[in-house]
Amino acid sequence: MNHFISLHDIEPARILALLDQADALKADLKAGRPHPLLPGKTLAMIFSKSSTRTRVSFEVGMYQLGGHALYLNAGDIQLGRGEPIPDTAGVLSRMVDGIMIRTYSHQDVMDLARWGTIPVINGLTDLHHPCQILSDLMTVRERKAGQLQGLRMAYVGDGNNVANSLLHGCAKVGMDIAIATPEGFECDATSIAEAMEDAARSGSRITLTHDPREAVEHADAVYTDTWISMGQEAEKERKMIPFKGFIVDAALMSLARHDAIFLHCLPAYRGYEVSADVIDGSQSAVYDQAENRLHAQKAVLASLLV
């Protein structure tokens, strides 16, 4: 069974093929060419956390592909009352063609895939956000003349789910990546080791530092994300002091290449991880990233649900 749970599990050639298909689907949509690749197919979308982009891109994507998506708030289905994952997986496998899930525990997504008989897509866990990074690679390719290999990505901020998946994604496609986190907020150790493995094959160079300036120097793209991910709201006060100095502002951006783009998966908190003049400025590609979620998700759906 094919799933889309972690970019580390996916061969570089398949990632590039998904990006090509996302580009083609985007061109179809812009030209008004119908592309009903999934007629009659259904996707169950389980959400234990909030979402704007992920929910809308999957639901609209399924509609545009000629299929249908069901929004299942985890609190409204029996899963939220403790129905076991194997039963949920078994039952959904009898009724729908694929499951997209956004939840806390990455293991829950793995278990859903293990016990079900249909493709499972990770729509974000505490550990990874592969759908986001697929769309980000698509955005970088668009902005940088179709090329990823050899470009330099910088990520500044919390070593969270987005950072872990960004490490995977860059290592797979041969982009150099430098990640600057405060001490104690580094990326997941297993994800780092996995990315190192992939980087050894692709030629990507990985730099892990506590110095945002070192990470951003000569970068082609500068990425940040919220300091407080969903589920970590109680940590807000504790994080303010270590994260001081990790805001992506104009002074930090000026260390990147003059044509560098600014990336953020959104939602963003202006004045915390990014200054308003950067995210709302001319280098920002954040709405492209958000739009590309739709096209990238459709490529994933088309490849898994046919």
- Active-site residue list: 102, 129, 132, 225, 265, 293
Q: Which is nearer to ligand NVA, 23 or 158 (CB)?
A: 158
Residue of 208, 242, 238, 232 whose CA lies nearest to 126: 232
Q: Which is nearer to ligand CP, 154 or 265 (CB)?
A: 265
In the numeric block, the tokens 């083609």 are attached to 24
CB of 102 to ligand CP, least distance (A): 7
Distance, CA of 303 to CA of 297 (rounded, Å): 10
217 CB burial (10 A radius; 0-12, 13-18, 19+) = middle
226 binds ligand NVA (CB under 6 A): yes
Residue 190 touches which member of ligand NVA, ligand CP, none, C-beta under 5-8 Å by kind: none
Distance of CA 204 to the CA centre of its chain: 19
Q: Which is nearer to ligand NVA, 136 or 176 (CB)?
A: 136
31: tokens are 């030209």
Q: Which stretch binds ligand CP (CB under 6 A): 45-53, 74-82, 85-93, 178-186?
A: 45-53
219: tokens are 């970068």
Q: Which is nearer to ligand CP, 3 or 53 (CB)?
A: 53
Residue 52 touches which member of ligand CP, ligand NVA, none, C-beta under 5-8 Å by kind: ligand CP
Distance of CA 256 to the CA centre of its chain: 23
CB of 222 to ligand NVA, least distance (A): 17
> Nearest to ligand CP by Cβ — which residue?
54
Q: How many CA atoms lie within 13 A of 66 on its CB side?
A: 11
25: tokens are 């689907």
CB of 276 to ligand NVA, least distance (A): 19
82 CB burial (10 A radius; 0-12, 13-18, 19+) = exposed
53 binds ligand CP (CB under 6 A): yes
266 binds ligand CP (CB under 6 A): yes
For residues 42-101, which are near ligand NVA according to CB under 6 A? none
Among 42, 51, 207, 232, which residue sits at the site for ligand CP (rule: CB under 6 A)?
51
Distance, CA of 135 to CA of 288 (rounded, Å): 9
CB of 39 to ligand CP, least distance (A): 26
Binding positions for ligand CP, rule: CB under 6 A: 51-54, 124, 132, 265-266
